[in-house]
Structures are given as structure tokens and as C-alpha cells.
Amino acid sequence: QEEKIFAGKVLRLHVCTMEGAEWLEEVPEDTTVEKLKERCLKHCLPGSLEDPKTVTHHKLIHATSEKVLTDTKTVLEENIQDRDVLLLVKKRAPTLLPKMSDVVAEEKRKQEQKAPDKDAILKATANLPARSADRSVTHHNMRDFQTELRKILVSLIEVAQKLLALNPDAVELFKKANAMLDEDEEDRVDEIALRQLTEMGFPESRAVKALRLNHMSVTQAMEWLIEHADDPAVDAPLPGSAPAEAPAEGAASSAEAAAGPSSEEGGEEAKDELTEIFKKIRRKREFRPDPRAVIALMEMGFDEKEVVDALRVNNNQQNAACEWLLGDRKPSPEDLDKGIDTNSPLFQAILENPVVQLGLTNPKTLL
């Protein structure tokens, strides 16, 4: 009777195992975790307590807090409440350290399987006759790859141009193409930057030139203007800054020519004219010579057209362009506009791709 009076509060705990077993365990709150484990093992693994290590090989985890319960503490000390869920889990066996003999054997096996080095190969093949000793190694140039890729793109664009020239909407295509040829976004000057320089007292023409040379940077343009204030060539226009040759009347006549050719010959002329316009757009979009590089190379005595061609071939790299001008000048600028053989298996395989076919008939491919 006294034991019942002074006994602690009895808790009803849900116990689960990894195998899916689940039951209700009633224990006083002053019960140690180790005793609780023994009761759980008796329930789920009868006879397992004959091995004294069984208790130490298992642990109880509080499901809500994911905390591993300490064997020496009581249920109350672990702050376990009524109807809490506990998980009985077998501990992972610690990894055993390998024996020294096994480690030595493994290292020996790795050394035996190791690939021979250059000295070992030369030693093993010293008495063998040399074969194919004069075989030349082919060095692939990255420029060759870029050239071939460019040829493929040029040929694809030419095919797209021919398809779109026969499009009923060729008139609108002509108008857009000519408008794009006339406009020059990169020649536009930042009005705010220009106003800042003119308010400082610099002439507008010089300020425009300085901004274009320094990629619209006000600070760098101002430094350039101060540095070249006494330069007699400061007012000279930038190379290649002449206005576009294609007048608006030419655009209108081109559109009329494409609108409705009266004969097959007229249709061919319209198609060729459209092709030429798109070629000009492509050249204009893909390359703009660096003004600083143009000036530097022209100061060496080269003609402006030669300098622009050199920079175009060498992607605006001034040193490479200089070497090109002094060397055999290959590849030539004309080579950049040549496409791949349209009858080649590679080009035919590209054209058979459905994605490529959809892109070729889309006017946005060219515009």
C-alpha cells in the first residue's frame, strides 16, 4: 500500500521498432532508460536478454525531438511526457580498423597494378626496333574550327535568304531590311554624357569623337580630350564613320522591285538584291572595327580599308591584325563570306534537322 502511495506517476508510452512493430508500454516516471530498454527488448525480442550486450547494442530515440535517450537517466529526467512516441533502434556496429597485413597487401596490389611511367616504358622497350618514328603529328588550329563553323552559318543564312525571298511578305521584309541597314545604333551618342562634356566647354564634335573612342565613358572621354587638346588631328573624323551609302529612295525601289516582279528575271533580280541587303546587314552586325586599333594601325602606314579587313579577319585583335598585314594575309576577307559546299553530307545532315528547317523559314532568323 505504501509503495502505491509513494510510487511515481505512470506514463503510457508508444514504442515502435524499425521492423514496424508497435505497442504501448506503461512505466513509472522514475524508471531508468536502461530498464525501459530491457522491457522493450523482452517484448519485441524474447530471449535476447540472455546476451548482456543486447541492451548496449540498442538505443531509444524520442521521435518528436529526435534525441537519443541516455541509459543512466530516468524517464522524468529525459523530459518524456505521457503518450510520447519512442523508437527502438539497433546501433550501428563500429567500423573495424583493417589489419596491418591487409593494408600492406592492398598497397602491394596497387603498386603492381599501377601504370608504368615513361622511364619504365623506355627501359622495357630498349631492345625493340623503332617503328613509325617519323610519323608527323597534326596540330589543329582553333581558327580552322571557327572558319568551318562560320562557313556553315553563312550557307545556312544563304538558304534562309532564298526561302524568304520567295515569301509573299517579301515586301515587308525588304522594308525592314533596308530600315535596319540605314539605322546605326552604335553610332548614336549618349545625350546626357555629351551634354556633360559640352557644359565643361569642350566642342561638340570633339566630345562625340571622344565618347565613341572611349565607349561612352564620360571620365575616360574627358581625359582623352585633355590629353589631345593640342593634337592637330583631334578634329579629324573617326575612320569608317561615313554615313551609310544606301539611300531611302533605294530602299523604296527595292521594296517595289520585290513587291511583284513581272517576270522570272525580275524575281531573280529582287531575290539577288534582297540577298545583298542581308549580306550588308550581316557584315554590319557581326563586326565593327575598334576605332583605337584602326587609328594605331593607320599610324603605322597601312591603308584604312586594309586595316578594317585585318581587324575583321582577326576579331579586332590589334596585334594579330598587324601580323596579318605584315604576313601572307590569309585567310582573306573574301574567305569569311564563303559558305560550305551545299552538297556535302555534313550540310545535308544539318538541313534535315527539323529545328533547323523551322528556323530557316522564320524571318527573325535574318532580322
pLDDT at 181 over 60: no
Alpha-carbon span 21 to 292, nearest angstrom: 81
Question: Quick one: pLDDT at residue 1?
Answer: 45
Q: Are residues 272 and 337 in the same domain?
A: yes
CA distance readout (Å), 25 to 19, 38, 69, 193: 17, 12, 16, 82
CA angle 191, 194, 197 (to 5 degrees): 155
Note the Cα 122 to chain centre separation in Å.
43
Q: Are residues 214 and 257 in the same domain?
A: no
Residue 295 lies in a domain: no
pTM of the model: 0.36
pLDDT at 241 over 80: no
Question: Quick one: pLDDT at residue 16?
Answer: 92
Q: Are residues 279 and 341 in the same domain?
A: yes
Q: Are residues 231 and 356 in the same domain?
A: no
Contact assessment for residue 170 and residue 353, using Cβ atoms and an 8 Å cutoff:
no
Q: Are residues 201 and 267 in the same domain?
A: no
Contact assessment for residue 7 and residue 27, using Cβ atoms and an 8 Å cutoff:
no
pLDDT tens-digit readout, 56-73: 888 899 988 889 999 899
* Domain region containing 230: 185-243
Residue 158 backbone dihedrals phi, psi, to 5 degrees: -65, -40
Question: Quick one: pLDDT at residue 173?
Answer: 67
pLDDT tens-digit readout, 283-306: 665 567 787 888 888 888 888 888
Which helix (H) or strand (E) is 86 found in, with range?
Answer: strand 85-90
Q: Are residues 169 and 206 in the same domain?
A: no
Residue 164 lies in a domain: yes
Alpha-carbon span 173 to 165, nearest angstrom: 8
Q: Are residues 277 and 189 in the same domain?
A: no
CATH number of the structural domain spanning residue 60? 3.10.20.90
CATH number of the structural domain spanning residue 239? 1.10.8.10
Overall residue count recorded for the chain in this entry:
367
More confident residue, 213 or 283: 213
Alpha-carbon span 11 to 246, nearest angstrom: 95
Residue with cell string 508497435: 22
pLDDT tens-digit readout, 78-128: 888 898 999 999 888 777 778 888 888 888 888 888 888 888 888 888 888
Residue 315 lies in a domain: no
Structurally, how many domains does the chain consist of? 3
Sheet order of strands, 85-90 included:
22-28, 10-17, 85-90, 58-62, 67-68
Residue 3 lies in a domain: no
Residue 86 lies in a domain: yes
Q: Are residues 230 and 279 in the same domain?
A: no
Question: Quick one: pLDDT at residue 273?
Answer: 64
Which helix (H) or strand (E) is 87 found in, with range?
Answer: strand 85-90
Alpha-carbon span 176 to 274, nearest angstrom: 11
Q: Are residues 227 and 202 in the same domain?
A: yes
For the residues 344-365, what does the mean pLDDT come to?
Answer: 82
Q: Are residues 149 and 282 in the same domain?
A: yes
Question: Quick one: pLDDT at residue 133?
Answer: 58
Alpha-carbon span 175 to 266, nearest angstrom: 18
Q: Are residues 254 and 360 in the same domain?
A: yes
Q: Range with the lowest mean pLDDT among 130-144, 245-259, 314-328?
A: 245-259
More confident residue, 234 or 80: 80
Q: Are residues 198 and 227 in the same domain?
A: yes
The residue type at 239: P
Contact assessment for residue 163 and residue 358, using Cβ atoms and an 8 Å cutoff:
no
